[in-house]
Amino acid sequence: MEMLNARTGHPEVVSSSTTSLGRRRSPPLHSAALNGDVTLVRQMLEHGEDADTRDEWTLTPIMSMFVRHALQETRCIFQERNPVRRNLVTDCREEDSERTATTNAVLGLFLQHGALLDARTKGRKSALHYAICDGLYEAAKILLDAGATIDAQDKDGRSPLYCVVQERSLLVTNLLVSYGASIDLQDRLGVSPLSLVIEKEYVNVMQIFLNHHALVATRERLDFAGEVLLQAVEANSINIVRFLVENEYVAMDYQNAAGETAMHRAIAQGNTEMMTELDELDPTGQSFQTVTVRGESCFHFAARLASVKELELLLHIRNQLSRDGYSDLLNSTDCLGATPLFAAATTTESRCVRDKINQSIDRKVKMQLLLSHGAMLLRNEAFPGGSPFRRLSRDSGIILCAQVRRCLVQWFAECESEIEGYKLRGFCTNWITHVPVKPKTATTMTVLHLSVCAGYAIDVLPLVLMLPQNQAAITSFLQSLECFITCSNGLQFDCLAHELSASWA
């Protein structure tokens, strides 16, 4: 009879001594171990049989015995034509106890006679890789106590813990973790036992991991539950997220090294399902009041990285938070003084954008949505002196704040091919003309003017905008922005002109 351990995904096959015609017999020692014949195994070992002899699949007798044990433990019967594990409908405790005692006794004999704890198959599996069902808990403990390598990896990079997690064998999982098995050891595909638990949403196994790691800080993970929460958000593992939060392993305002919360990460991924779930788990809106190290709120993230769909959901959630503390979220500023609307108007990082045309459409739609909810492009309180215009102390010149200069340079550069050359030249020339006259800057003004006339207006624009303007010329500057509202960034120019005019009035 041939047996394939399909349950564990092992390619190695174990056969009994009564194989069919044309198939090789198992070595005698394997057959004795498979049949649980303690006396025969002892006699054979005492008479010089190699405890690590291999069968045709390169399994040792210990490995073959473990595979046979696991197969017998998962035996099935058919109930109304459906396969059902027999021990779910039949009391198999006595049978299981006898088999376990026999397996442990045979294992002890092999170890007494020098069996290698870390012998490997051609697939690089060790005996511990096969001790993965809860019925082999005691056998696994015997191997570990004898010094078996707990994090041995097979040819696919999978450790015994990885294999146990796949089987969801809780007793052996707890045993391996308690003995120090790594939950972060990755296989060749970059999947670790921890990431497997999160991906498959094995809540019971996660409970075991938390029992051993919740209070353990490492260089990579100062807060285990918090980092698992963010990883679960990335994997869209809603059951794991709910388990962590509802059981108070982690708060909703937990932040990673960049200051991002679970809501920030869900927004960045464009995962509206996860965003909705996080909102339900956060009735007090903790994550809404939490900003990143760059000072970005959830609205900044949605404006900069997400699509209009995620932004709409975020605005809907905000409307449900009627407390005064949330009324100003839409116009909060980051560390650079940018509002969410400013982030939407200047972003080049939107997840859903694939080309320049889509980028322009994405910005416009998000801006229109934010504007309809009362968002502002500029927050005067964020500027020195409370205004985007700064008056120089030495003369009457007016300088634009860095934020306004930066967005103008970006928008003009993006629309260069759409803007008629004379319009941009006229804009720059008009600016240079109204710079307060100083003898020592005359040469610089001449060079800039010649550069603009020679067709390098877009190249010298950053320098031009850094120059001060006569106070009387500001109104002319604001009116000149209206010339560009027909280009793809027209909404940005129009919005900027409107807010600057209000600040200047």
Which residue in 75, 73, 51 sits closest to 62, CA to CA? 51
The number of distinct structural domains making up the chain is 2
- Tens-place pLDDT, residues 316-346: 988 887 655 555 788 999 999 999 999 999 9
d(CA 250, CA 244): 6
d(CA 407, CA 239): 42
Which residue in 68, 37, 203, 35 sits closest to 135, CA to CA? 68
Domain assignment present for residue 328? The answer is no
Give pLDDT, residue 18: 39
Residue labelled with tokens 């809404």:
288
Give pLDDT, residue 357: 66
Q: Could you give the residue ranges of the DSSP H alpha helices within 217-271?
A: 224-234, 238-246, 262-269
Domain assignment present for residue 392? The answer is yes
- Tens-place pLDDT, residues 103-126: 999 999 999 999 999 999 999 999
d(CA 138, CA 134): 9
Q: Do 250 and 229 contact (CB within 8 A), yes or no?
A: yes
Three-state DSSP class for 2?
Answer: strand
Domain assignment present for residue 77? The answer is yes
Which tokens in the block code for residue 286? 């903790």
d(CA 479, CA 474): 9
Q: What secondary structure, in 3-state letters, does 134-201 show?
A: HHHHHHHHHHHHHCCCCCCCCCCCCCHHHHHHHHCCHHHHHHHHHCCCCCCCCCCCCCCHHHHHHHHC
* Domain stops at, among 90, 123, 149: 149
Give pLDDT, residue 345: 95
Quick one: which H or E segment has residue 83? strand 82-85
Task: Name the region of 197 (left: φ>0; alpha: ψ -120 to 50; beta: rest).
Answer: alpha
For the beta carbon of residue 284, count every other beta carbon within 10 angstroms.
Answer: 12
pLDDT, average across residues 273-296? 92
- Tens-place pLDDT, residues 350-366: 876 666 667 788 899 99
Q: Judge residue 449's burial from the number of C-beta atoms within 10 Å of its C-beta, 0-12 exposed, 13-18 middle, 19 or more buried.
A: middle
Tell me which residue range forms the domain holding 476: 385-504
Phi/psi of residue 253, nearest 5 degrees? -95, 15
Give pLDDT, residue 372: 94
For the chain, give the mean pLDDT. Answer: 87
d(CA 415, CA 489): 7
d(CA 314, CA 310): 6
Partners of residue 83 on adjacent β-strands? 78
Residues 6+ apart with CB under 8 A from 389: 398, 399, 400, 401, 474, 500, 503, 504
Give pLDDT, residue 403: 94
DSSP 376: -
Q: Name the percent of the chain lying above pLDDT 70.
A: 87
Domain assignment present for residue 408? The answer is yes
* Domain stops at, among 149, 172, 202: 149
Higher pLDDT, 491 or 133: 491
- Tens-place pLDDT, residues 249-262: 999 999 999 999 99
Give pLDDT, residue 73: 66
- The predicted model scores a pTM of 0.83
Higher pLDDT, 85 or 58: 58
Is the pLDDT at 227 greater than 80, yes or no?
Answer: yes
- Tens-place pLDDT, residues 163-209: 999 999 999 999 999 999 999 999 999 999 999 999 999 999 999 99
Q: Judge residue 423's burial from the number of C-beta atoms within 10 Å of its C-beta, 0-12 exposed, 13-18 middle, 19 or more buried.
A: middle
Domain assignment present for residue 461? The answer is yes
| CATH code of 134's domain | 1.25.40.20
d(CA 312, CA 159): 44
Partners of residue 84 on adjacent β-strands? 77
Domain assignment present for residue 270? The answer is no
Q: Count of H helices and E strands in the chain?
A: 24, 6
- Tens-place pLDDT, residues 423-445: 899 999 999 999 887 777 788 88
Domain assignment present for residue 435? The answer is yes
Domain assignment present for residue 366? The answer is no
* Domain stops at, among 132, 149, 166: 149
Distances (CA, A) of 299 to 30, 251, 318, 333, 403: 65, 20, 10, 10, 19
Residue labelled with tokens 């804009």:
427
